[in-house]
């Protein structure tokens, strides 16, 4: 470890110019999901390549069937230095409804909120242009002070993250050797709160299934057939209601195979965050945790698997009443997975269970929707331990290692396709309004984000 003070100081001195550079990038309308902005997406990629080249990266725009990738390498740290792959995305969400924006979404601005707090406004400030530039500007500070970077660095910027990343897997596959590093750094997540940085160590996996139960070959009149004919809504609701036992656990056979208990020290650190059932559920008008009894809401949403019915429909659903016995009833069901739960096994167990609940004269069809395993980094891996310490040096409160209830597919792809774990660090806040009008990013997130990467790169190089 070297003394990072001069690098941090340089980052501070660079702040004004680094904001100018970020704003240049923010003005490019790189909306990936709308074909009208195809040229803008390429322009954003080209802008990044040009900028990375000024920092000594060997950088290029790489074509895909969709929007291009940016790949850049910087190897002057030497073969013995650790090698990291930094991932971010330069594409942004559409801006509709545009009339709800207080400023032009592509004319970024700095607004003084008083009490020393300033925010950057505009589409992409938080998701993800502002975040990815924290890393690039950290590299710049290093380069300017030391003439070199502390690690070997490969950069991968994607232009299709907001439109389902259709080109990503083929690109990773075709360029695996080039992109493989010791581990990945992913900057697309958030802080715990304004003062507490966070490292996401776990991401839940997901299995989606659509279930269609068919009974009679047509809709029936409940006067004529009610009491004799199978009602597919009854069949479906009875089956779905058996997915949980009375303690809130998922009742499928062997469902918890591969689920491990969260270490006591991690649970203790979560306790300290002060999130209660009331505070967590209260923000959406609820108060009673619905899942497994005896576990905190953070544990339930970060570290425990779930079964959720995301949609259900069948029979007459319009105004008034129709005494029909439907021919079909359907549901969309998803499972959030943790630990080593196997998506394929969970899917098969679910299907077997549902099939066991279908009467002899009814039938059931399944349509799969996605399946990905959970991501679990060791809570005490050297990478996390070093990043935690680095972040704790920068922010008012010590960094916390958290879980994430959702999924970030890229992290799974890095794991399965490149055999590489990820470190998930980001500086967004829950009120950044990503994907919504008036997206913002705290100036503190940007400035201290750059300083955080300076510290993390230093810690990783040690």
Q: Where are the beta strands (DSSP E) in 338-382?
A: 363-372, 375-376
Instruction: Give the CA radius of gyration of the chain.
Output: 25
407 is a site residue for a second copy (CB under 8 A): yes
216 is a site residue for a second copy (CB under 8 A): yes
Q: Tokens 């129709």 sit at which residue?
A: 322
170/311 with CB nearer a second copy = 311
Query: Nearest approach, Cβ of 451 to a second copy (angstroms)?
Result: 29
Q: Other C-beta atoms within 10 Å of 426: how many?
A: 26
436 is a site residue for a second copy (CB under 8 A): no
* Number of residues that this document lists for the chain: 462
218 is a site residue for a second copy (CB under 8 A): yes
225 is a site residue for a second copy (CB under 8 A): yes
In this structure, are residues 231 and 215 in contact, taking their beta carbons and an 8 Å threshold?
yes
Q: Name the nearest CA neighbour of 423 among 451, 446, 452.
A: 452
Q: Which residue stretch of 83-91, 343-351, 385-393, 399-407 sits at the interface with a second copy (rule: CB under 8 A)?
A: 399-407
Mapped onto helix, strand or coil, the DSSP state of residue 421 is: strand
Give the footprint of a second copy on residues 312-351 (CB under 8 A): 312-317, 320-326, 329-332, 334, 336
Which residue from 60, 146, 222, 269 is in contact with a second copy, where contact means CB under 8 A?
Answer: 222
Which residue from 371, 398, 405, 437 is in contact with a second copy, where contact means CB under 8 A?
Answer: 405
Beta partners for residue 203, in sequence order: 375, 404
Which residue from 277, 347, 351, 389 is in contact with a second copy, where contact means CB under 8 A?
Answer: 277
In this structure, are residues 44 and 24 in contact, taking their beta carbons and an 8 Å threshold?
no
Q: Name the nearest CA neighbour of 424 among 407, 446, 441.
A: 407
Q: Name the nearest CA neighbour of 65 among 145, 174, 185.
A: 174
Interface mask toward a second copy for 172-211; x: CB under 8 A: --------------------------------x-x-x-x-
Query: Nearest approach, Cβ of 276 to a second copy (angstroms)?
Result: 11
Which residue from 166, 170, 263, 311 is in contact with a second copy, where contact means CB under 8 A?
Answer: 311
Q: Which residue stretch of 63-71, 150-158, 308-316, 373-381 sits at the interface with a second copy (rule: CB under 8 A)?
A: 308-316
Q: Which residue stretch of 122-130, 234-242, 421-429, 442-450 sits at the interface with a second copy (rule: CB under 8 A)?
A: 234-242
Query: Nearest approach, Cβ of 259 to a second copy (angstroms)?
Result: 12
In this structure, are residues 390 and 452 in contact, taking their beta carbons and an 8 Å threshold?
yes
Q: Which residue stretch of 35-43, 107-115, 150-158, 274-282 sits at the interface with a second copy (rule: CB under 8 A)?
A: 274-282
In angstroms, the Cα distances linking 290 to 138, 282, 406 are 43, 13, 18
Q: Which residue stretch of 69-77, 187-195, 279-287, 341-349 sits at the interface with a second copy (rule: CB under 8 A)?
A: 279-287
* Sequence-ordered list of residues with C-beta below 8 angstroms from that of 33, at least 6 positions apart, any chain: 93, 94, 162, 163
Interface mask toward a second copy for 356-375; x: CB under 8 A: ---xxxx------xx-----
Give the footprint of a second copy on residues 242-261 (CB under 8 A): 242-244
187/331 with CB nearer a second copy = 331
Query: Nearest approach, Cβ of 403 to a second copy (angstroms)?
Result: 11
Buried b (16+ CB within 10 A) or exposed e, 1-33: eeebeebbebbeebeeebbebbbebbbbbbbbe
Torsion angle (degrees, nearest 10) of CA 385, 389, 390, 393: 170
7/215 with CB nearer a second copy = 215
In this structure, are residues 217 and 455 in contact, taking their beta carbons and an 8 Å threshold?
no
C-alpha span between 338 and 258 (Å, rounded) = 8
Q: Which helix (H) or strand (E) holds 110?
A: strand 109-114
Query: Nearest approach, Cβ of 424 to a second copy (angstroms)?
Result: 14
Which residue from 9, 13, 103, 241 is in contact with a second copy, where contact means CB under 8 A?
Answer: 241
Query: Nearest approach, Cβ of 411 to a second copy (angstroms)?
Result: 13
Q: Which helix (H) or strand (E) holds 144?
A: helix 129-146
20/217 with CB nearer a second copy = 217
The three-state DSSP-derived secondary structure of 149-201 is CCCEEEEEEECCHHHCCCCHHHHHHHCHHHHCCCEEEECCCECCECCECEEEE
In this structure, are residues 169 and 407 in contact, taking their beta carbons and an 8 Å threshold?
no
256/280 with CB nearer a second copy = 280
74/336 with CB nearer a second copy = 336
Which residue from 170, 226, 263, 382 is in contact with a second copy, where contact means CB under 8 A?
Answer: 226
Size of the site for a second copy (CB under 8 A): 81
């Amino acid at each position: 470890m070297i003394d990072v003070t001069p690098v941090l100081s340089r980052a501070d001195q660079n702040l004004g110019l680094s904001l100018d550079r970020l704003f240049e990038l923010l003005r490019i309308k790189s909306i990936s999901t709308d074909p009208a902005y195809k040229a803008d997406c390429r322009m954003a990629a080209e802008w990044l390549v040009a900028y990375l080249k000024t920092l000594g990266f060997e950088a290029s725009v790489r074509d895909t069937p969709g929007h291009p990738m940016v790949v850049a390498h910087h190897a002057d740290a030497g073969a013995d230095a650790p090698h990291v792959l930094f991932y971010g995305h330069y594409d942004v969400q559409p801006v509709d409804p545009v009339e709800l924006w207080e400023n032009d979404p592509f004319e970024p601005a700095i607004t003084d909120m008083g009490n020393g707090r300033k925010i950057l406004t505009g589409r992409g400030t938080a998701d993800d242009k502002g975040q990815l530039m924290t890393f690039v500007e950290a590299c710049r500070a290093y380069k300017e002070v030391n003439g070199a970077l502390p690690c070997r660095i490969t950069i991968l910027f994607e232009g299709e993250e907001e439109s389902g990343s259709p080109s990503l897997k083929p690109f990773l596959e075709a360029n695996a050797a080039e992109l493989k590093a010791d581990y990945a750094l992913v900057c697309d997540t958030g802080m715990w709160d304004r003062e507490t940085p966070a490292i996401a160590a776990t991401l839940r996996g997901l299995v989606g299934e659509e279930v269609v139960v068919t009974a009679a070959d047509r809709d029936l009149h409940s006067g004529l057939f009610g009491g004799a004919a199978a009602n597919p809504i009854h069949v479906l609701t009875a089956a779905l209601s058996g997915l949980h036992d009375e303690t809130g656990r998922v009742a499928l056979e062997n469902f918890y195979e591969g689920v491990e208990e969260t270490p006591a020290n991690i649970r203790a650190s979560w306790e300290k965050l002060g999130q209660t059932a009331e505070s967590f559920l209260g923000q959406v008008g609820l108060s009673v945790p619905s899942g497994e009894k005896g576990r905190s809401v953070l544990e339930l949403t970060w570290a425990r698997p779930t079964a959720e019915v995301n949609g259900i429909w069948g029979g007459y659903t319009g105004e008034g009443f129709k005494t029909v016995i439907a021919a079909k009833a359907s549901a969309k069901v998803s499972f959030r997975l943790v630990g080593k739960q196997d998506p394929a096994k969970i899917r098969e167990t679910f299907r077997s269970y549902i099939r066991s609940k279908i009467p002899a004269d009814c039938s059931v069809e399944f349509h799969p929707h996605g399946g990905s395993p959970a991501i679990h980094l060791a809570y005490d891996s050297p990478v996390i331990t070093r990043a935690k310490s680095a972040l704790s040096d920068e922010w008012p409160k010590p960094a916390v290692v958290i879980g994430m209830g959702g999924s970030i597919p890229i992290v799974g792809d890095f794991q399965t396709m490149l055999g590489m774990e990820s470190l998930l660090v980001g500086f967004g806040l829950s009120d950044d309004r990503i994907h919504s009008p008036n997206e913002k990013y705290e100036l503190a997130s940007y400035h201290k984000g750059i300083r955080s990467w300076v510290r993390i790169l230093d810690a990783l190089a040690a």
